A and B are shown apart, each in its own frame.
Chain A
């Protein structure tokens, strides 16, 4: 196979020196680039392929607060607010819609689980509405009779990942960030008080390093002998043909096996973390028809109107998850002036907050707007090479 770089046209040579190098032009990295550039910092964002080309463009765009564990509720609310402000503050349309969401349960065990989950959230100051019986039918007449209870969250929102990509790229570039695609980082070392990145488009020296490379983050960190035990999921999504509007809320499931939303153009997005085929290390991913069928069966059991619709496309995207499923977010252990924002279950939701708070860390403003100690990457570092 021909090496891609021999044929790729070099359209944007990276600077030889830059104050801050961000590795990964997805939602977290571009948000960091945007907020840092707006603070007047010199920043370049590198991507191994096309900016926004992997997980940030392949996810569902669901921004749900009520599905989150108590450890990330505050961070999630902060990030959803940032998503909402993209339009008002940066003038870019990310397709944000705050339509509220229902998290459903369909049998006794699930109802019990849902109640326990929401009671724990309430103990941490996040109270979501409880709906059953006629109240639930009135709010969501489209739900199947088998849905017996749901929690309701006004803040549950979504963005359109396709719109959001070009919008955030444009906002970051306008703010002064340099965004350099097809610049895979192949070598990385710390020498003479700076980081040396050997990219597919040349060598770059940076005082400050931010790793925001999604599933590739562990690989980048390992170049600095920092080893993280990420697991990489291959999540599947499907979208239906456009249909008359019926679904006016985001729907999720207490057991995490379903997410549904209908976009303004009438298409319904069906997800729920069903696993496709693929091995991250070998750069393979594909959909799995049997599991897609199970995904659709669950979806139609919650929203029967789906049975009339045809699936137009299915696809799969990577998601790196830490063993405790909490973000890996903060200073890179043992390395000066280096930061990492990765491993967040639901990285699309948390990306803007990660970019914003990394900016605060770098600006050395002391306390961050949201406490991030519990996401300290040091908790996961395995000593020595795995």
Chain B
């Protein structure tokens, strides 16, 4: 699946990169992690703890907690609420995150 950004009539700052599951992701200043990942084409941000189902961006405003990811080692970060920063290391969250993994 692919993502895209609207470009017409929009001025942005200097782009930068962070990584998601080791892959380089382009972001512009002010974009949330979730927005940059959507533009990158990512849909599955985490898997559920009980059945391993895929979850992604849902409410987009910090309420539903569906888009939580591991950010710089910290599990359960709402990716829709945190601005992307250069060099951030983001991981798809499996279940409750690293403490939950074997």
A residues in contact (CB < 8 Å) with B: 241-244, 264-266, 310, 312
Contact = CB atoms under 8 A, between A and B. Distances in A.
| Interface residue SS majority, chain B | loop
12 contacts: A241-B68, A241-B76, A242-B76, A244-B49, A244-B95, A244-B99, A264-B50, A265-B48, A265-B49, A265-B50, A266-B96, A310-B76
B65 A241 contact: yes
A243 B100 CA distance: 9
A225 B32 CA distance: 60
Contacts of B68: 241
B73 to A, nearest CB: 15
Nearest to B76: A241
Contact-size category for B: 10 to 19
B59 to A, nearest CB: 12
| Interface residue SS majority, chain A | loop
Of B95, B96, B99, most buried by chain A (CB within 10 Å of CB) is B96
A266 B65 CA distance: 13
B76 A266 contact: no
Contact of B96 (A242, A264, A310, A312): A242
A142 to B, nearest CB: 15
Of A242, A243, A312, most buried by chain B (CB within 10 Å of CB) is A242
Nearest to A265: B50
B65 to A, nearest CB: 6
A312 B65 CA distance: 8
Contact of B49 (A266, A310, A312): A266
Contact of A244 (B48, B50, B65, B100): B100
A243 B99 CA distance: 10
Contacts of A243: 96
Contacts of B99: 244
A247 to B, nearest CB: 14
A14 B50 CA distance: 42
Contacts of B96: 242-244, 266
Interface string B23-39: 00000000000000000
